[in-house]
Amino acid sequence: MDEATVELVPGRSCAGCTLCCKLLRIDELEKPRHEWCIHCAVGKGCKIYEARPAPCRAFYCGWLVNDWLGAHWQPAKSRMMITAEGGRLVIHVDPGRLDAWRKEPFYSEIKKWAAAAARNRGQVILWQGKDLIAILPDREKHLGPLRDGQFIVTTETRGPSGPVLDMQIVDADHPLAAGRSKPG
């Protein structure tokens, strides 16, 4: 997102929250997912704010820009961060609180999002440590780690009571990977 065009939810800011500096992978900084950035002053902010790379400049977590996320989703409190990536809603869970998403009111909301996403062939996925979990309306599916060159795809089969959606990880050369994007 362009900094000039982003509208933050009134009253919301990053103040005191640096969870994105831990949860996200930033290739330009050779920063792996789920490790604190060496440039982060935890709980305060970026020590290289003026020189931070483009992905950091363009990033706004879902809580900052979506008023449908209640106050309980504030990342510093919930220990989770929401991002939208195309037709995919991604929930990044702090490795120090891997079960946070299973607590209420979070779990019920996540399941509602999964049902809504399924109607539009969208995806709700969750980073739990190094592993991805697909959140489907009727279940959660452990997908495991996602390697470079792999993608998450949604498939549909016929079940006894209608369509059954599934998600799986496929390699880039798999026919189902055409036109797909992988989570950031």
Question: Does residue 173 share a domain with residue 86?
Answer: yes
Residue range 76-88: average pLDDT? 92
- Pair (90, 168) in one structural domain: yes
Answer yes or no: are the C-beta atoms of 132 and 126 closer than 8 Å. Answer: yes
pTM: 0.89
The number of angstroms, rounded, from the C-alpha of 118 to the middle of its chain's C-alpha atoms is 17
Q: Please check whether residues 21 and 49 belong to one and the same domain.
A: yes
Number of structural domains the chain divides into:
2
* Residues 95-148 pLDDT 10s: 999 999 999 999 999 999 999 998 888 899 999 988 999 999 999 999 999 998
Query: 88 with 129, same domain?
Result: yes
Q: Quick count: other Cβ atoms within 10 Å of Cβ 184?
A: 16
Q: Which residues contact 99 (CB under 8 A, 6 or more apart)?
A: none
pLDDT digits (tens, 9 = 90+) for 15-49: 989 999 999 999 999 999 999 999 999 999 999 99
Give the pair of three-digit tokens for residue 182: 């992988």
Give the number of C-alpha atoms closer than 13 A to the C-alpha of residue 160, restricted to the C-beta side. 0
Pairing of the two strands 131-136 and 162-171: unpaired
Stretch 85-96: mean pLDDT: 92
Phi then psi dihedrals of residue 123, to 5 deg: -130, 145
Are residues 98 and 20 both part of a single domain? no
* Domain match, 56 and 134 both: no
Sign of CA dihedral 82, 25, 53, 170: negative
Domain range for 33: 1-60
Provide the pLDDT confidence category of residue 1 given band limits of 50, 70 and 90: very low
